[in-house]
Amino acid sequence: AAVYSSPPSALDAATNPLWTPGGWFSVAADPPPALSPWEWRKLRVWSVTPQSHNTSLIRFVFDDVHAAAGMECASYLLTRANIGKEKPDGTRGAVIRPYTPSHTTIGYLELVIKRYEHGKMSKHIHSLKPGDELEFKGPIMGTYIIQNEFESIGLIAGGTGITPMLQVAQRVLENEADKTKVSLVFANVSEEEIILRDKIEELKAAHPEQFQVLYVLDNPPAEGWGGASGYISKEMLQERMPPPSLGGLAKVLVCGPPGMVQHVSGDQPSKKKGQGELGGVLRELGYTKQQVFKF
């Protein structure tokens, strides 16, 4: 906050001027929204930073440097590009895909995108260079996480599915008043493909009694690997996830490639079916549909 003896001629866009007997007083205001849930808006690529051989971190900047994405915990954004099937008039249809930013702040957001050979949007985003644009809409709520609503939250992630999970973990762990325990099982093909590991380890070191992490690899190193290997198993989840006997005090979130989601929790969510029926390993362990949310 700042006090002025006369009305400021050009206040920063992130402040509101108020007149008090002591002079003009500037107070922080909510940053203006950079995006909208109702209309598509273009964001410009600022930088592309490789994270592994097939994954990159892309920073998109807002036109208004004072704006924010307005992301809530466990929300996501839609992206759109005209890269679909060719139409009779020569144009291409739109392809729309949801993504959760790995980081948002005033002025920009960041996406961590893995390139899939048959993924039209992931290949398109990987082709973008600084100065190129991509359309966004949102944020759109996935599920609400309320302070101390649950005794324990389990997070099951595969590949870039870690981004909404990290969002949830940060929201819980960085709030000193929230005592919810968080347990993450994070599956990848190889150790080199564990994205955002530094941020996960920072949270783990800062909250050793509240946050547990198990890394699972399809192809672990021949020596020195301290995590698990193979597919996510019933035993892994039984040991790491909050027990279904907690009822409404337990929540398990799942996000990852279709095969992993199917194995862990049944069919992926869709616009037509919503969350769908609970299946997979979680159903075998006795969880209810109400205890599980699939991104």
Ordered per-residue pLDDT tens for the chain, 295 residues: 344 334 444 334 444 555 545 554 444 567 899 999 999 999 999 999 999 899 999 999 999 999 999 888 778 999 999 999 888 888 889 999 999 998 899 999 999 999 988 999 999 999 999 999 999 999 987 777 889 999 999 999 999 999 999 999 999 999 999 999 999 999 999 999 999 999 999 999 999 999 999 999 999 998 999 999 999 999 999 999 999 999 999 999 999 999 999 999 999 888 788 898 999 999 999 999 999 999 8
Does residue 114 have a known ligand-binding role? yes
Residue pair 144/74 in contact by the 8 Å Cβ criterion: yes
Does residue 120 have a known ligand-binding role? yes
Does residue 287 have a known ligand-binding role? no
Its pTM stands at: 0.78
Q: Exposed (0-12), middle (13-18) or buried (19+): which is 193, by Cβ within 10 Å?
A: buried
Question: How many whole angstroms separate alpha carbon 47 and alpha carbon 107?
Answer: 14
Residue 29: what pLDDT? 61
Does residue 245 have a known ligand-binding role? no
Question: How many whole angstroms separate alpha carbon 131 and alpha carbon 106?
Answer: 19
Does residue 97 have a known ligand-binding role? yes
Does residue 163 have a known ligand-binding role? yes
Residue pair 81/95 in contact by the 8 Å Cβ criterion: yes
Does residue 98 have a known ligand-binding role? yes
Residue pair 192/159 in contact by the 8 Å Cβ criterion: no
Does residue 99 have a known ligand-binding role? yes
Domains plus CATH for the chain?
Answer: 1-30 (no CATH), 41-141 (2.40.30.10), 152-294 (3.40.50.80)
Does residue 20 have a known ligand-binding role? no
CA distances from 129 to 44, 102, 293 (A): 9, 19, 35
CA distances from 200 to 18, 168, 195, 204, 270 (A): 42, 12, 9, 6, 29
56: helix, strand or coil: strand
